[in-house]
Chain A
Amino acid sequence: MDATPINAHSGTPGEPIRANYLNVNYGLKSWLLTTDHKRIGILYLISITIFFALGGIFAALIRLELMTPEGDVVSSEMYNKLFTMHGVAMIFFFLIPSIPAVFGNFLIPMMIGARDVAFPRLNLMSWYIYSIGGVFTFAAMALGGVDTGWTFYAPYSSTYSNSNVALTAVGIFILGFSSILTGLNFIVTIHKMRAPGLTWFRLPLFVWAHYATSLIQILGTPVVAISIVLVALERLLKLGIFDPKLGGDPLLFQHLFWFYSHPAVYIMILPSMGVVSEVIACFSRKRVFGYPFIAFSSLAIAVLGFLVWGHHMFTSGQSVYAGMIFSVLTMLVAIPSAVKVFNWTATLYKGSVSYQAPMLYALGFIGLFTIGGLTGLFLATLATDVHLHDTYFVVAHFHYIMVGGAIMGYMAAMHFWWPKMTGRLYPEGWAKFAALVIFVGFNLTFFPQFVLGYLGMPRRYHVYPPEFQVLNVMSTAGASILAVGYIIPLIYLLWSLKYGPAAGANPWQAKGLEWTTPSPPPPHNFERTPVVTEEAYAYESKPYPEEAEVV
């Protein structure tokens, strides 16, 4: 994942070199001033990988500290900064941009048969805004860090914390605009730039998922930007907004924060669901079961996701009747999620199932997302949430969704479209091995935390009672396996850039317009505008296999 151009010669030796988006021009300037959605996707890939590595290092230090009940690796101040910066790096700078900014950018124009997104220069600007936000946040970390938790609860964040809250707030505020502009770009692109014949119900489900995600990005992100500005104003100018000593209300912050940050969960998970729909269909060689139900369940999740923020506040002192409303609405969100899982499972029925690496990640996603979703019911149920709120049960639940779900989907996407993006195949054996290591490491890390949570271990604890140690040691052991699982793909993917065999246009014999063009794609994606005459995933429609280019 290096910014220097890759030798993208993808044909067999002796064949003339074909122009593609990687070799069309060279040099740093050609990348930093590019308006090609594919190159912008690669720029994002490099940026978010840096933040993923940073967040991973913070996580490693957290798990190291928690091996023993005493505080012996880092001080309490440092521990609090570590979990805060882990959350900030992973959520704002990795998970929220991850699939949309990398794969959405790269693939949506290709999937709909367009040359680029609707606003290519705005797209580049989004990446610059992301980077400026990243520089501010990185500066806040380097200058001593921030210790409020990624949730920035007032009045701790606005009055009491002595860390770099304002600088971090500025970074996240700037970052938000990148997300808004990307969402805007996708919505316009999907509305206006579909190829002839590509009706809404012929769109790949990946595109539907990104459409739903973009709606949330546009409608939700301004609210978190406002609440972060208000924290900064209270901190710098002593305006009374959240701190009761200044006449403010701490719960107002929670309402504003979760109004965005709960839907943000769906920003992180919906694109992964889109990936899984693509991968499951391809490796079952079958259309996705219940296409309209999966498509509309994405929209249902996006809409209902805006109405459930109060389930983060069941113990906060909000009215018990408000709690009941938020509980029942949260229960409703479970239904479209369940519908998706059932439909994916049914897709395998009577399919032709093969187990390449992307499929292993997609199956891993379904399993882990199922556990994450079902444990969400424990937190949506009022009386059990009173016990489980702010314990390790919550930590385990959202890591099953965010890591077991969102990152598994991200890894599935990486392995599915890597040959398309680079023109190279990675070593399949290593990829399967890494998927297995990640699956085992993940479960060992986070399953014990469900047990810890019901036992009553609060989250964000630097020191803890000794009876919780065994489960914490299991979790730390799992985390080290997980770390290995993430490092292996980094190595073989980089290796494949130089040594991987040429992929050909369609190594998985997949359906979808992105597979009809060579790998890596030419600068303008298609030689001529494709005309679509069939539904997505019509794996039965043509005698198979049909490849645009022989490997």
Chain B
Amino acid sequence: MDQGIPLFPEAASTMAGKVDALYFFLVAVAVFFAALIFISLTVFALKYRRRSETEVPPSIHGSTPLEIAWSVIPLGLVMIMFAWGAKLYFDAYNEVPPDAEEVYVVGKQWMWHIQHANGRREINELHVPVGRPIKLIMASEDVIHSFYIPAFRLKKDVVPGRYATIWFQATKPGRYHLFCAEYCGTGHSKMKGWVTVMEPAEYQAWLSGGVVGESMEAAGERLFNQLGCNTCHRADGTGRGPSLVGVFGKPVRLLSGETVIADEAYIRESILNPNAKIVAGYPSPTIMSTYQGQISERGILQIIAYLKSLSKEERSQ
């Protein structure tokens, strides 16, 4: 309260400045048209105020050129807004840089659970380095949440049953608000925390400090063996299920003749609903049983991290 009325949020990501530029364009257009209307109304209302009870103003039906002008000019302006906004939206949601560092986020009533690739976990806190693209892979254990960092001008709903991914690149060290923006029940307004942006060296120190348990990959490998996945999905392809080595990120031919990319959503679906997409050459219905209710969203993300590592090894060989 002591710094007076805040009027503008901090900008701390590569996207923030671009969104702000678009915002200022929108403000300029809005102010221009609001002023045009307010001034016209005021001028007309005063200039043409009723001077006598019997006056009869001239009859004016309208003007087609004016109607065209005030339809076409706004149309041009809103199309600029559309195109500009669509370009940035596409960049923010779809154009993930391939070298982005992956961080896993699970939302549940009413906290954000975050795990870094090396296994470091945090709750309602997210530490990231400045100047590196970060990709968040997010899931929800229960209802819809929304991951929102105002200083990055970035938000994405985390809908149960599917993965949400976003990416950002922080530009300024500091501590910024992290909110849940989608109403999620009693503790919704307490489902918030902080994003801490650090210098890269500092971040590396933080990442390896604290209690670092297993890495995501190692935890995923342990789960893979513990749940018995390895008995069928053998690495050499001799098991009753397809080998999962080198599969992640590649196209997979299905029994139905379709081809899908083996991404996070495909892996998750195959664990929870194995009959949904059966790989070509394997029996239908599948002999694999569902793992619904036996594995948490976090566990699935760990298995995904493990399968990704199997693809990376293959690539490096």
Contacts and interface: CB of A to CB of B under 8 A. Distances in A.
- The judgment on whether A and B are partners is yes
Interface of A: 71, 76-77, 80, 147, 149, 153, 155-156, 159-161, 243-245, 249-251, 284-287, 289-293, 314-317, 320, 323-324, 327-328, 331-332, 334-335, 338-339, 341-343, 345-346, 348-355, 363, 366-367, 370-371, 374-375, 377-378, 380-387, 389-391, 451, 454-456, 458-471, 538-540, 543-545
- With most chain B CB atoms within 10 A of its CB, the pick from A290, A323, A464 is A290
A334 B44 contact: no
A412 to B, nearest CB: 15
Interface residues of B, number: 90
B26 interface: yes
Contacts of B185: 80, 147, 156, 160-161
B295 to A, nearest CB: 13
A290 B26 contact: no
Contact of B86 (A76, A327, A461): A327
B155 A346 contact: no
A538 B30 CA distance: 34
Given A250-B144, A352-B48, A390-B155, A460 B38 contact: no
Contacts of B179: 456, 458
A273 B182 CA distance: 32
Interface string B77-108: 01101101111111011100000000000000
B154 A544 contact: no
Given A345-B41, A386-B154, A290 B63 contact: yes
Contacts of B92: 383, 386
Rank and list the top 8 A-B pairs by shortest CB-CB distance, nearest first.
A456-B150, A244-B161, A383-B88, A382-B89, A381-B85, A348-B44, A290-B62, A461-B189
Given A80-B186, A245-B160, A328-B82, A285 B56 contact: yes
B61 A383 contact: no
A273 to B, nearest CB: 15
Interface of B: 1, 3-9, 18-19, 22-23, 26, 29-30, 33-34, 37-38, 40-41, 44-45, 48-51, 53-63, 66-67, 70-71, 74-75, 78-79, 81-82, 84-90, 92-94, 109, 142-144, 146, 148, 150-151, 153-157, 159-162, 164, 177, 179-190, 292
B56 A454 contact: no
A463 B189 CA distance: 6
B255 to A, nearest CB: 21
B78 A377 contact: yes
Given A155-B160, A290-B62, A454 B9 contact: yes
Contact of B48 (A317, A353, A384): A353
A391 B5 CA distance: 18
A324 to B, nearest CB: 5
B52 to A, nearest CB: 8
B249 to A, nearest CB: 20
B146 to A, nearest CB: 6
